[in-house]
Amino acid sequence: MTHISVIIPTYNRPQLLKNTLDRLINQTYRKTQYEIIIVDNYYLSNAKDVLNKNIKLPVVKVIELSKRSVNNARNEGIKRSSGEIIVFCDDDVLVDRDFLKNIFFAHKKYKNAWAIGGRVKIIWEGGKPAWLPKRVESYYAKLDFGNKEIRNPSWLVSANISFKKQVFKKVGYFNLCLGRSELGNFYKDEIELLNRIKKANGNIYYIPDIQCHHYVSKERLTILNLLRRIYWKGRSEAVLENQENRKFDKILGNLFFTAVLDVIYILYHIMHLDKDKIILHCITPVYMVGFLMQSILIQFGLVKTEKGLRMKKTYAK
């Protein structure tokens, strides 16, 4: 019997994918009780060839999609899964040996759990850059709420998150307006789904023993890449606010006030050549630019939106 389905969306990263699979296949949890579903978003990536050469186990199956969309990949993986528990993993994540066993027993312990997430540590290729402030490590999917289990944490990340499969029938699938896709590098898709769970009075848990490591390559460790992430986080926030039917002018007013202060701080730290502080105070202005850009596009009807939380009609097609 398949208890767990592990879904891994991938896009043209065969070597990283192989590393992820090596860890997932060598688990302390019984291989007969879980399956791994790879959803290939890039038809030229040869994911099947990588599997055929390196992994010869029936536990792994591949779904090929031509449309680039991480959430479309996740949704397709859910539809074709057999497990009672759906686990999501990224293709650049290295899980601990007890990863699946800990997920299984966490769901067994908390039978009322709709979603469970765990700790995500970072592997910095070449070491963490000296210029990168600790405060922004979460932009690279770092998550650590400490060693205590927490009910209804403020957020979880898709690199290490699991759901009861029946949850998707109750609140719908992942939102196609968020997540990385041909439309852009949107974020906050797991947060949006968790918000729907909270609205439906579902329980969410953080379990620190469910642990993995997110590999961050050198090319992503540049100031420009970080600012780009912050910009798209801002755009993603505008999508969320639109779905919650909140007023943009009030949110923009708060962001604008904070951004003006940050610009003043930036000028001050430029004069004092304090590079770390400059980067920190760039966060809100860049975030606001992204938020403003997406807000304008939404207000003028130039982008696809899903207004409000029409759960089953919107998300569970």
Based on the fold, state whether residues 160 and 104 are members of the same structural domain: yes
Based on the fold, state whether residues 60 and 170 are members of the same structural domain: yes
Strands (E), the chain: 4-10, 34-40, 60-64, 85-88, 93-95, 113-124, 150-151, 161-164, 180-181, 184-185, 203-216
CA dist 165 and 81 (Å) reads 9
**How much is the pTM?**
0.85
Is the residue at 213 inside a domain? yes
Please give the tally of structural domains in the chain. Answer: 2
Is the residue at 185 inside a domain? yes
pLDDT digit string, tens, across residues 46-92: 556 656 555 555 577 788 887 789 999 999 999 999 999 999 999 99
Is the residue at 34 inside a domain? yes
Based on the fold, state whether residues 37 and 177 are members of the same structural domain: yes
Based on the fold, state whether residues 275 and 207 are members of the same structural domain: no
Based on the fold, state whether residues 246 and 121 are members of the same structural domain: no
CA dist 106 and 59 (Å) reads 22
pLDDT digit string, tens, across residues 241-284: 887 766 555 555 556 656 565 555 455 545 545 556 667 667 77
What is the number of alpha carbons within 13 Å of residue 256 lying toward its C-beta? 7
Lookup: tokens for 184: 């852009």
Range of the domain at 259: 223-299
User: Which residue, among 284, 63, 306, 36, has the nearest Cα to 189 in the 3D structure?
Assistant: 306
Contact yes or no for 8/38 (Cβ under 8 A): yes
Q: What are the angstrom distances between the C-alpha of 161 and each of 96, 214, 229?
A: 14, 13, 21
Provide the CATH number for the domain around residue 147: 3.90.550.10
CA dist 253 and 255 (Å) reads 5
Is the residue at 66 inside a domain? yes
